[in-house]
Amino acid sequence: MLHSRWINGNLAYWDTHQCRIIDAVGASVVSYINHFVSLPVDDGTAQPVDWVIFTDHDPGMSLPASNPGGVLKVDCGNTDNDEANCQLGTATNEPWVITTSNLKPLYFGIRVKAAEHADEGIFVGLMEPGKTADTLTDDSGVLIDADLIGFNILTATPAAWNATWKKAGQAVQAITGVAVNADDYHIFEFYFDGASTVTFWADGTAHATVATTSAATFPSAEEMTITLAIKTGQGTAKSMAIDWIRVVQFN
């Protein structure tokens, strides 16, 4: 059932729990909401026009057939360490920022499924721009040294989705095993309250462990964009399917 509430003078629509923002209307809303019913591409390169993509396997991002409602496929090649790394916008695009006590709540949500369940690294979330090459540093799936927050899979623990965040130059932080990587979709979300706390959600359940934005390891005040990355840890192609992505900030 759809509900609504006011956030910073903007009308926010929510479902399931008050932090799952479906859409929002207002003068200070900065949002990206996509159910991937289309994917415009450049006439010359055939690459999606809204994304910067680094891949060993063209196109790296596509809309597969026979998926009513829209599904985005992100995939890499079948050679060990092949990858596909995608960032929304240009190499300097920085639409969203989480800053302690800035009174600008932010919601990130994604419905995603990993198609394989062994020897793969994945990241979905927000990251500083210009990090499309080796977003996952090697076939372990370890993340690049960058400002980031989201959800990931490491090749050493391919059965587990983790919540993760990092300030560039600091140690990566993680809540391990927030969901099981199996043959089903998961809804992963995080919500910044505009003050000091980020809460992570997996399939509608909030995790007891939260991120404190004032901590030295949190990417507070760092500008970021949507980032999707996958890398294979063996000689087998890997892919993930994304049903929708929503990022909404109330400035």
Please write the tens of the pLDDT for every residue from 79-135.
Answer: 998 999 999 998 888 999 999 999 999 999 999 999 988 889 999 999 999 877 888
Please name each of the domains of the chain with its CATH number: 31-250 (2.60.120.200)
pTM: 0.95
Cβ-count burial 98-109 (b if 16+ within 10 Å, e if not):
bbbebebbbbbb
Number of Cβ within 10 Å of residue 78's Cβ equals 14
**pLDDT reading at 26 higher than 80:** yes
As a whole number of angstroms, the distance between CA 150 and CA 126 comes to 6
**pLDDT reading at 150 higher than 90:** yes
What rounded mean pLDDT belongs to the chain?
A: 93
Taking a C-beta distance cutoff of 8 angstroms, is the pair 224, 148 a contact? yes
